[in-house]
Amino acid sequence: MRAIPILCSIIAVLGSASATCSEPEPAEQICYNRPDATPQNIDLKDIGAAAQRLRLYHASQIRKHQSPFWKMKVADADNCAEWRAMTAGGAWVLVKLVGERDAAVTFKDIANTLTQGQGLVNCGAAGGQMGVIVDGGDALYASPEFVSGGYTTEGLLVKVVRGP
């Protein structure tokens, strides 16, 4: 009989939990070769291939008049869940919502976060994570889909890890 009150307590806690990530991670770049991290031993070619696939998918969505955005709503974020955006070889590209508002970024910006300038490619084979590098000049961020959806570009982290 003691199991019923315990079960009710668990349900009450889970039912009142917010979908917002209660332990958000910072947006700055963190490479997994730090002493407190686990290097992922990722082939850099796989990171490049994942970025290329994201760019191709972005272009395909534009051609088909479909959404070029990776969208995460707070209600669906499942308290820090990481969603797989792309895989290539042994590399997994994960996206996580750590903000308190619905967020969206283009698939192209996720790709650029992997391979451009100050992107995750700088972490080398260790892998890493960081906030999405957003091209604020991209006209898509002024589109009715983005604006009327009430999205922000802030609060999304991209992680590169080795798949199981």
Please name which of 75, 69, 74, 98 lies closest in space to residue 159, comparing C-alpha atoms. 98
- Mention every residue, 6+ apart, whose C-beta is less than 8 A from residue 24: 80, 98, 99, 155
- pLDDT, tens digit only, all 164 positions of the chain: 444 333 333 333 333 334 566 666 889 999 999 999 999 999 999 999 999 999 999 999 999 999 999 999 998 877 678 999 999 999 999 999 998 899 999 999 999 999 998 899 999 999 999 999 999 999 999 999 999 999 999 999 999 999 98
DSSP reduced 3-state for 47: helix
